[in-house]
Amino acid sequence: MLTLTTDFGGRDFHLPRLKAQLLSVQPDLQIVDISHDIPTYDIVRAAFIFNKVWDHYPKGTIHLLSVYDFYQPRGRFLAAYHEGHYFIAPDNGIFSLIFGAVPEQTYVLDDYDKDTSLSTIYARAVSHLARRKPFHEIGVPATRYTERLAFQPVIGPNYIRGSVVFIDRFDNVTTNITRKLFEEVGEGRGFQLLVKRMPPLDGLSFRYHDVPEGEPLCRFDSDGLLEIAVNLGRAAPLLGINVEDMVQIEFFGVS
């Protein structure tokens, strides 16, 4: 099984040409599309979406991430093995966003020259893995790699200051504040959530319908991330919220 995550979109030839090249070298591939609607060059968005799903696939799955491939004139491409899965992506920092620390078993794909096409680079690496060749023969060990650090929440005794990291197609707003962090800092205290000029929210909902239609709410999603939404509405445009906006939770009383 091979998953694909790209910023190619679906309106031109890039995606079908990549799939054609992959199938020409490995006809029995089962290709599964994760997303091709990543905003161009947006490795932060790609990593967020990919992290929501990759570990739901069976062990042995190959994951190809083709986002912001040509981040420099002479780019490099990496293959990694982590928790029973294989990953292929450009060395543009996306692995550090996905894993934090890049996996120990990470190799640089070195079997191409400047005239080798992108689809050929990926097809060779996927074929190597699909045919169960020794992983260490896919390239040379990576002794360096590009790192991109994601913004982490700032905490104090009575507050958490995070940010908006994702807005989905329903315009629900996801932050980088986890349930675990919320419970550790809050210790069961009351709170208010502040973002932009929106009236403060002072309670958690379990379902969207816990508040009247058209009213805002905050809740933890299935991945344990704090979400801001509007029941049967679109939170982001209604509340004027954008990706990277600051979100602050203030807890009442002394911890």
Question: Would you tell me the crossing angle of helices 118-130 and 14-25 to the nearest 10 degrees?
Answer: 40
230: number of Cβ within 10 Å: 22
**Structure confidence by residue, pLDDT tens digits, 85-126:** 999 999 999 999 999 888 999 999 976 565 678 889 999 999
Instruction: Report helix, strand or coil for 18.
Output: helix
Provide the residue ranges of all domains of the chain, joining segments of one domain with +: 2-141, 154-251
List the beta bridge partners of residue 108: 78, 140
pLDDT of residue 10 exceeding 90? no
**Structure confidence by residue, pLDDT tens digits, 53-78:** 999 999 999 999 999 987 566 678 99
What does the pLDDT average to over 148-175? Answer: 92
Residue 72: the pLDDT is 63
Q: Considering Cα of 247, then 239, then 218, then 34, what sign does the dihedral take? A: negative
pLDDT of residue 236 exceeding 60? yes
Residue 42: the pLDDT is 92
Of residues 147 and 2, the one with the higher pLDDT is 2
Q: Is the fold of 2-141 the same as that of 154-251?
A: no
Residue 152: the pLDDT is 87
CA dist., res. 217 & res. 197, Å (int):
15
Q: Do residues 58 and 30 touch, judged by C-beta distance below 8 A?
A: no
CA dist., res. 183 & res. 224, Å (int):
11
The CATH number of the structural domain formed by 154-251 is: 2.40.30.90
**32-46, 62-76, 131-145, 173-187: least confidently modelled range:** 62-76
Q: Which fold has domain 2-141?
A: Rossmann fold (3.40.50)
Q: Do residues 145 and 91 touch, judged by C-beta distance below 8 A?
A: yes
CA dist., res. 124 & res. 76, Å (int):
14
Q: Which helix (H) or strand (E) element contains residue 21?
A: helix 14-25
What single-letter amino acid sits at 227?
E
What does the pLDDT average to over 28-46? Answer: 94
pTM, entire model: 0.84
Q: Helices (DSSP H) in 69-178: which residue ranges? A: 94-99, 118-130
